[in-house]
Amino acid sequence: MTPSVDSVVVPPRGQRVRETIAQLRERILGGEWPVGGRIPTEPQLVAALGVGRNTVREAVRALVHAGVLECRQGSGTYVVSTDELAPVVARRLTDRMAEVVEVRRAFEVEAARLAALRRTPDDLAALDAALAVREAAWRSGRVDDFVEADAALHTAVVAAAHNGMLAELYASVGAALRSTVAQAMGGALEPERYVDHGRLVAAIRDGDPARAAIEAGAFLEPPPGA
């Protein structure tokens, strides 16, 4: 169920903010800004919607509060869901890391399999770009940058699966999924923790769904006895 404009908390600014929220949501629901994608910058939204900067800022903040958008420092604002249940699910999973890993495996293995069957040239270009950013983030040694870049690559894989429901469900638990990566890093990017995703992208490029599924699931296998 998607949150209506009336269900979103609106600041006192009033009708203009409410109308701007409606316009933003219309573009999200219409697919102009898909789940997992970044929305235009604040100045671009001001120009496109014909409203003031403060109005745009308050409308975006309201949709962040509703769990539809997520602001990522240094990266921009992203569509994370069209479902008001998303923040509830994310909070539920945050303290259940073992379950989050199982959810990741369920989503990411199937996404990789579908991506190998359905990927387009644009998808492959996006995967190559995301992989390059991920590798650069690893070399930088900055954990936060790597976590975001790793999440972006997996989001690109899900996008290449061309299953809207899968993309929305995956995005709805994005914060919890990133937490598992940060936890796995243990505060530092040590060589023994590096996972090569080049083989995953190669399997998708080759159109090999079985190999893509294996590559996607291999690093999420539970330890023996778990």
Specify the pLDDT at position 224: 42
Mark whether 90 and 29 lie in a shared domain. Answer: no
Mean model confidence pLDDT for the chain: 83
Q: What percent of the chain shows pLDDT beyond 70?
A: 84
Total structural domains within the chain: 2
Q: Which domain holds residue 75?
A: 13-82
Distance CA 91, CA 94 (A): 5
Of the three residues 82, 101, 126, the one that is the final residue of a domain is 82
Of the three residues 33, 60, 82, the one that is the final residue of a domain is 82
Give residue-wise pLDDT tens across range 104-129.
888 999 999 999 999 999 999 999 99
Indicate whether 2 belongs to any domain: no
Do β-strands 69-72 and 76-79 pair in parallel, antiparallel, or remain unpaired?
A: antiparallel
> How many of the other CB atoms lie within 10 Å of CB of 190?
9
Specify the pLDDT at position 199: 95
User: Does the structure show a pLDDT above 80 at 13?
Assistant: no
Mark whether 34 and 107 lie in a shared domain. Answer: no
Distance CA 56, CA 62 (A): 10
Q: What is the pTM of this model?
A: 0.63
Nearest to 50 by CA among 23, 79, 14, 11: 23
Q: Spell out the alpha helix ranges (H) of 31-120.
A: 42-49, 53-65, 86-94, 97-118
Distance CA 215, CA 202 (A): 10
User: Does the structure show a pLDDT above 50 at 72?
Assistant: yes
